């Protein structure tokens, strides 16, 4: 099981955090196809929040998260990174940029539908 912390800016500019507890690596498909793509197609903050609440634990982060998604719904962009947590300082930080894995997965599912 892979877990990811999500840092999201809704279309109204409100920033929220949440955690996706299972199958969150892009290649596993679940998070990308069930949450991210539908989320990116919305343009209403209330609908975005409802979708997030159905798939994530909102207002929470996990210290054992493997990945970090940075999602800006105003610009419709997604960044994908390693998530690093320091138990000593109790701080989460962004690790290596893995966004290429996300874009490769998007390309693979687009090619399957063609």
Total Cβ atoms within 10 A of residue 4: 25
Dist. CA 21–CA 62, nearest whole Å: 9
pLDDT value for 2: 87
Q: Averaged over 70-86, what is the pLDDT? A: 98
The helix (H) or strand (E) run that includes residue 80 is: strand 77-86
Dist. CA 10–CA 60, nearest whole Å: 16
Q: Averaged over 83-98, what is the pLDDT? A: 98
Render pLDDT for 12-66 as a digit per residue (tens, 0 to 9): 999 999 999 778 999 999 999 999 999 999 999 999 999 999 999 999 999 999 9
Q: Is the pTM of this model over 0.85?
A: yes
pLDDT value for 112: 75
Averaged pLDDT score across all residues of the chain: 94
- Pairing label, strands 91-97, 57-58: unpaired
Does residue 114 carry a pLDDT above 60?
Answer: no
């Amino acid at each position: 099981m892979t877990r990811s912390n999500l840092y999201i800016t809704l279309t109204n500019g409100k920033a929220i955090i949440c955690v996706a507890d299972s199958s969150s690596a892009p290649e596993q498909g679940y998070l990308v196809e069930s949450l991210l793509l539908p989320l990116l197609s919305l343009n209403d903050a209330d609908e975005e929040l409802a979708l997030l609440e159905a798939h994530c634990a909102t207002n929470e982060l996990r210290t054992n998260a493997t990945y970090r998604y940075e999602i800006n719904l105003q610009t419709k962009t997604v960044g994908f990174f390693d998530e690093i947590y320091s138990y000593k300082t109790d701080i989460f930080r962004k690790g290596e940029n893995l966004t290429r894995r996300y874009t490769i997965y998007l390309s693979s599912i687009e090619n399957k539908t063609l």
